[in-house]
Amino acid sequence: MTRGKILIVDDDRNICELLRLYIEKEGYSIEIANDGGEALSKFHETQPDLIMLDIMLPVLDGWQVCREIRKTSQTPIIMLTAKGEVFDKVLGLELGADDYVVKPFEAKEIIARIKAVLRRTGADKHHDETKLVQYDKLSINLTNYELKVNGTPVDTPPKELELIYHLASNPNRVFTRDQLLDEVWGFDYYGDSRTVDVHVKRLREKLEGVSDKWALKTVWGVGYKFEVKD
């Protein structure tokens, strides 16, 4: 049985074939697209479990492809690029990318990133547990990516949901912004961590005042915690 289907999107056909060679050895099936338009067509046709997405593409660039996919799907995306600027990493995080690999890369690193992202997002075919955390008037289901407040589903982008799930799974534990970037986003991340603050702010808008038994708290000078009261 295949471990899952991966869509590789890169205009460099040599890189596509190199990635195919690495990844098929691990038991995944591969689809390939060489421009942004073809990437969206293949995505809708084949419904992959993960996308390896280059940024510098003809027709539509990787950022545009990522935006389009995130309008309708939470399929994990690993951005693949020769660029390494902090700006690109921040933008990738904010658009909903799950990881970021800078060329040139090694086979071991690519495979490790793929497995880690699939495990973290629950898309690994070898893992079938339900990821659910519940508190008073709050239900966070990471298996089907659903947040419910007072029993009503609340539209929540994937990274916001993964962030609140991670915090709520570790009640009263304080996480620094860097820890959250590493453990939720999985980026080898350097620089400004404002992305975490933006996601927490958006979550607060959805969760403020829902219950007096728990709260999403700022620990000044340190980071954030999901506080549960006795």
What averages of pLDDT result for each successive group of 10 residues across the chain (230 residues)?
A: 84 93 90 97 94 94 94 90 68 82 84 85 57 92 88 90 93 92 70 81 94 95 91
Domain extent listing, the chain = 5-121, 132-228
- Domain 132-228 sits in CATH at 1.10.10.10
pTM: 0.61
CA 115/CA 131 separation, integer angstroms: 18
CA-angle at 96, arms to 95 and 100, nearest 5°? 95
CA-angle at 92, arms to 217 and 199, nearest 5°? 15
Architecture of domain 5-121: 3-Layer(aba) Sandwich (3.40)
The pLDDT value recorded for residue 1 is: 45
The pLDDT value recorded for residue 7 is: 97
- Among candidate residues 79, 33, 76, the one with its CA nearest the CA of residue 53: 79
